[in-house]
Structure 1
Amino acid sequence: MTDRDPDCCAPDRSDEQPSRSDERATADDRRSTVPATTNDDRTTSMVRLDGGAFTMGTDSDVGFPADGEGPTREVTLDPFYIDTYAVTNAEFLQFVRDTGYTTDAERYGWSFVFENFLAEDDAADARGTVAGAPWWVAVEGANWVRPYGPSSNVLDERERLKHPVTHVSWNDAQAYAEWAGKRLPTEAEWEYAARGGLTGNRYPWGDDLTPNGEHRCNIWQGNFPETNTGADGYRRTAPVNAYEPNGYGLYNVAGNVWEWCADWFSSDYHTTDAYSHENPTGPETGHQRVMRGGSHLCHRSWCNRYRVAARSKNTPDSSTSNIGFRCVVDASADV
């Protein structure tokens, strides 16, 4: 059983900072798309999954009880397409150029940055840290294009364009998905895809975190939060195509960045009579949205949530340097 603070993964805006008076209303839920057809441009760089029944969740006590990872239950899904990779900085840049979209972080004027990544030149832009998780710093001018503070810029390094976009809120991810003719995955779709066809395993590739000594994901290596050795090859985010894909050909469904899901978060909704075991979409209302997959800042001593059944949550307007997303498209049963 992990015994650390369960809310240290990615802070929300209500932790330390007051909400703005003109806060954007949460974007409308989109639970379906136009089904993809043959040669559909939307499904480029996506994988088609047949759906069907799978076992969701875990009965293990390795996680946080408040997260509601279990009990296991059989869920049935319709076929769908899912992005092979998390949405990149390059893809989000095209969205912004096409639409003129302004992210929540830009509207607020600040976002959360992991303290070790904040440049000395940007220290004066720090608004304060999060109680209980002081490694999170609210930084003026941090956003998707300036992920580590005002002096950083993803456009200055070509390689950074291949990394997952970060500092995107659920609202921002939803807006991108709508522009792309896609939607965010339900939590059940995300887990089905992340499992890669395996049943009951702890990770997308099996039960051993580093099979034969091989690193399969980008998480914290060392003593959190003081020292990250980078033994897995990365201390910050990794390119979206790093490491080996899972059995369905999906990359980085464990570690690297948290991924937003469509569902409102509840720790026990799946245990109630209201829960549907066919294409579940979570509760109709809530205050926080589901995040899945863990991030490069996860470590077993604090945030053991890079396991495939692990869950976390955040408010729809929150953004940090370790949250991103990928999208899905509904599939026709005969395509």
Structure 2
Amino acid sequence: MAVDLPGGMFTMGSDAHYPEEAPTHRVRVDAFSIDATTVTNAEFAAFVAETGYVTVAERDPDPADFPDAPAESLQPGSMVFVPTRGPVDLRHLSQWWRWKPGASWRHPRGPTSSVDQLLEHPVVHVAHEDALAYASWVGASLPTEAEWEYAARGGLDGTAYTWGEDARPGGRLMANTWDGPDFPWRSSGESGFLRTAPVGSFPANGYGLFDMAGNVWEWTDDWWTSRHPEDAGSPCCAPENPRGGDLQASYDPAQPQFRVGRKVIKGGSHLCADTYCLRYRPAARRPQPIDTGMSHVGFRCVRRPGPAARRADHA
């Protein structure tokens, strides 16, 4: 089910949290519709059954694309979250992420796992091109970062969370995020979910959209930039339907040998812990290599009417 949004002006970004979210600036987006939930395993399975599509995680890697990779890594697979055995240095995320051969949307925790009992959970381990392929199949697109953030805010302009300023209004748990302070090794189990939850398990925002905070990060179609533009606009002349940076600027400077573009992902995930990654907020943003799916990254689709579709889809 898609929700029609009227478009309009809103305050994008945050000056109060992480540097990549700054500066705040006014933005205008045209009307569009957006899926009420992220794409589920059941929906993605229907796409694969009809088209025979094979995701990036299920394909044999090209050794030329990974000249320094060990041979055991050159097989189909994906990145899977694995809890640590105890407290660790949170500066090194490689301690809780593992490359698992055989992991894919069909096998989200590795080759012996299955989505059979997860059909209403968000599909994960989808690379950017996989999300684009599904969106094209349903006659849709991926959202721009501005569209996604406008939708996530649910009509609340400039608040910290999709539901307001309080992380837990009235003590209520509002999103599927990490339970307790002991990330990444011990969850308190408060939410009942250690990993993904069925879509719609937590309250919708003001626009009737579910899981715009937590559960899984979501692909957008904008290239990553390390900050928002300093001259992004003012209330009198806010940019309309803005797009992100460009492919070249999106490369990871810490890995110059890998010239892989990175797109913006939004929304945070079930691995967002207040003590480590306070990113289950509409302004939060992270870079994701377009060829890399993970066990906490999914997507939802948008549809645009008329000229707005042409501007956003072909910018």
TM-score under structure 2 length normalisation: 0.82
- Matching residue's letter, 1:283: G
Structure 2: distance between partners of 1:221 and 1:133: 21
Report if aligned partners of 1:229, 1:235 keep a CA contact under 8 Å in 2.
no
- The answer to which of 174-183 and 224-233 deviates more is 224-233
Aligned to 2:87: none
Deviation at 1:331, TM superposition (A): 3.0
- The answer to which of 203-212 and 130-139 deviates more is 130-139
Partner of 1:161: helix, strand, or coil? coil
Partner of 2:78: helix, strand, or coil? strand
Q: Which runs of 5+ in 1 are unaligned?
A: 1-44, 118-129
Aligned to 1:315: 289
RMSD of aligned residue pairs (Cα, Å): 2.0
1:271 partnered with 2:230: yes
Deviation at 1:284, TM superposition (A): 3.3
Structure 2 residue corresponding to 1:86, chosen from 20, 24, 38 = 38
Aligned to 2:303: 329
- Matching residue's letter, 1:196: G
Structure 1: distance between partners of 2:126 and 2:193: 21
Aligned to 2:48: 96
Give the share of equivalent positions with the same residue, in percent: 49
Structure 1: distance between partners of 2:146 and 2:190: 32
Aligned to 2:271: 297
Aligned to 1:55: 11
State how 1:162-311 maps to structure 2 within 5 Å: 162-222=120-180, 223-268=182-227, 270-271=229-230, 277-285=239-247, 286=250, 287-311=261-285
TM-score under structure 1 length normalisation: 0.77
Deviation at 1:295, TM superposition (A): 0.3
Structure 1: distance between partners of 2:142 and 2:245: 16
Aligned to 2:2: 46
Structure 2: distance between partners of 1:70 and 1:273: 11
Structure 1: distance between partners of 2:227 and 2:82: 33
Q: Which runs of 5+ in 2 are unaligned?
A: 62-75, 85-90, 251-260, 308-315
Structure 2: distance between partners of 1:230 and 1:132: 22
Deviation at 1:115, TM superposition (A): 1.1
Structure 1: distance between partners of 2:5 and 2:201: 22
Q: Write the deviation string for residues 228-286 of structure 1: whole angstroms up to 9, x where unpaired.
A: 11212311101111111000000000000000000000023522579981101112323
Aligned length: 270
Report if aligned partners of 1:69, 1:309 keep a CA contact under 8 Å in 2.
yes
Report if aligned partners of 1:182, 1:328 keep a CA contact under 8 Å in 2.
yes
Structure 2: distance between partners of 1:310 and 1:284: 20
- The answer to which of 134-143 and 267-276 deviates more is 267-276
